[in-house]
Amino acid sequence: MSNIRFRDPPGCGMGGGMTMDHDERRERAGELVAALNLPRPLTADLLHRHMEGLRHKRIVVRAASARMMESGICGLWIEVDGEDFERIHYAPTESAVHRQQFINHEFGHMILDGEKERLPADRVALLAPLIPYDAIVHALARSSFTDEQEALAEAIGDCLALTMLTDRTDARHGPQTGFGRVL
């Protein structure tokens, strides 16, 4: 199935649907991430390769173009029928941490991989330089998101980031126990 997915800029989600409180969302994100059987210690590169294995496709990650950013797209995940790869575009940033969080958020949407709907013509026009026209014609997309979908994708991204941070710290200093974990 084809999927071209746009991420609304922060604060622009379309409300609705069931909502979870912060703890419920964090718990659900943890369950979804645990079900991935991630390689440990987790790094950005290992996460990327693991997601490619789960998706059975290469995932190409690039900074969003100025045109995307001008149109209000700050994160983008694209899957096109017939292609052997998917794309993630993230808002350009010099911060490796922010860049990884944008990528983790899009991985969160891949993990959720929910409903898709037809993409409006004005949004298709934005993609013309990115993918072949004949593929766009058959592309499907989610064009609206609930605040809850965005929040859950972000919670998944946070969980992935925390796993990488914890694994990096444990690898560098050994696992912390007792007061070492608290202090």
Q: Which residue has the higher pLDDT, 119 or 73?
A: 73
Mean pLDDT computed over 81-95: 88
Q: Tell me how far the alpha carbon of residue 122 is from its chain's centroid.
A: 23
Q: Which pTM value belongs to this model?
A: 0.74
pLDDT, tens digit (0-9, with 9 covering 90-100), for 41-71: 999 999 999 999 999 999 999 998 887 788 7
Burial status of residue 133 (CB atoms within 10 A of its CB: 0-12, 13-18, 19 or more):
exposed
Burial 146-176 (b: 16+ CB within 10 A, else e): bbbbbbbbbbbbbbbbbbbebbeeeeeeeee
- pLDDT mean across residues, the chain: 77
